[in-house]
Amino acid sequence: MKAPCYLCGEDSVLDGLCGRCYAKEHPLAGVPRMVSIETCKRCGAIRVPGGWKRIPTSLSGEEEVLEYQLWDLLSREVKTTSKDVELSLEELNRLDRVLHMRLHIEGSSHPSLPRHHEDYDIEIRQSYSTCDTCGMASGGYHEAILQVRADGRGLTEGEESEIAAIVTDMTVSQYESDSKAFVTSTSTDQYGMDFYVGSEHLARSLAAELESQYLAERKENFKLVGQDKGGKEKYRVTILVRLPRFTTGDFVSVAGNPCQVIAMSNGGLTCFDLRARSRFTMNQKSVKWRTLEYLTEESDKRAFMIVTHAFGKPVQLMDSKTYETIEVDEASLDFEFSTGDTVYGIELDDQLYILPSAPSD
């Protein structure tokens, strides 16, 4: 015989209480009736004690943002008593700046008791302002200017769009951890691209990425821009990233040998030695790097059609523009080819070099 529950008289199961009374005395969570949330009207950041919490950049649309904001708020305001609870949120009513929500919680008040369900109505008062980041960004705040140039030429269209994509991707990826990860203004002209970057840290990581990707040179200049409140001098850094004269596909000489640039990435330059017919890789620390000289751009290459080819004999080529025919040594075409194919060549110092068949691989 079990003793009766001291509250309702049913059979008691735990601490002198029946299951239902035990659950009532030990609710699954402490839930406030009313909570306030302040968010940034521009970016959706949430005001938290001591600052702003950025929302993930993966969220899209107002509803997803609101849902994230509400769960973030509830995770701070709702104190659950058991770990094994399931929460869900139901919207009851939405006014201009007030939301009436019902929080459903399922779980058990004690491991020996079955799961049960609890409902809590919460009033959520919303207010909007501008977070520090958006305030700074709209005010043109920038700690650094990143200038991207190329040595003795303008940037190519391909470089411009690649660089813009790198800047966007890195800004987005640092945005959640760096409240000043924004670019307040961008300009592109015949000399290159300028980015006004909110955080010096972001500007430095962008510069490092471009330096590595394009084997670029980096220079920094500091300019006095004023004093802070304590009288300390404040400087703004301008980081100049200068891409080399050549780009992928162009012709260079390395240690006196004519080469085509095949690829540039992660601090390494891959070249094809047109005389030795072999590829090699070097970086800015290589001894060979100091002998690197720009010869001419890729667009100077000529297209030829293979006219005739007989084994053991010179190959006859016809220039696709001038129709001039020339003969080259069979060995200078070190790849599979047949009559009618197009091959490319470059004339350097009165010498014609046939280019590797697929310069991109």
Interface with Zn ion (CB under 5 A): 5, 7-8, 10, 18, 21, 40, 42-43, 45, 131, 134
CB atoms within 10 A of CB 207: 24
Beta carbon nearer to Zn ion, 43 or 282: 43
The amino acid that residue 74 corresponds to is L
Alpha-carbon gap, residue 205 to 172, rounded angstroms: 13
What are 95-100's contacts with CB under 8 Å, separation 24+? 97/125, 97/126, 97/127, 98/123, 98/124, 98/125, 98/126, 99/70, 99/123, 99/124, 99/126, 100/124
DSSP state of 293: E
Least distance in angstroms from the C-beta of 47 to Zn ion: 10
If the CB atoms of residues 130 and 238 are measured against Zn ion, the closer one turns out to be 130
Q: Please tell me the distance from the alpha carbon of residue 34 to that of residue 77, in angstroms, as a whole number.
A: 10
For Zn ion, give the closer residue by CB, 43 or 333. Answer: 43
Q: What sections of 176-272 are H helices per DSSP? A: 200-214
**Nearest CB to Zn ion, comparing residues 55 and 167:** 55
Could you give phi then psi for residue 288, rounded to 5 degrees? -60, -30
Select 8 or 303, whichever has its Cβ closest to Zn ion. 8
86: which strand partners?
106
The least CB distance from residue 135 to Zn ion, in Å, is 8
> Which C-beta is closer to Zn ion: that of 8 or that of 331?
8
Nearest distance, CB of residue 170 and Zn ion, angstroms: 19
* C-beta of 31 vs 134, nearer to Zn ion: 134
Nearer to Zn ion (CB atom), residue 141 or residue 280:
141
List all residues 6 or more positions away from 38 whose beta carbon is below 8 Å from its beta carbon: 46, 47, 126, 127, 128, 129
Q: What is the closest distance, in whole angstroms, from the C-beta atom of residue 98 to Zn ion in the complex?
A: 22
Token pair recorded at residue 83: 């770990």
CB of 42 to Zn ion, least distance (A): 4
What residues have CB less than 8 Å from 281, skipping those under 6 apart?
268, 269, 270, 271
Distance CA 352, CA 22 (A): 93
Give least dist CB 182 to Zn ion, A.
10
**Closest separation in Å from C-beta 20 to Zn ion:** 6
Smallest distance from Zn ion to CB 4, Å: 8
Q: What span, in angstroms and rounded, lies between the C-alpha atoms of 208 and 23?
A: 59
For the chain, what is the largest distance between any 2 Cα atoms, rounded to a whole number of angstroms? Answer: 112
For residue 116, list its beta bridge partners: 107
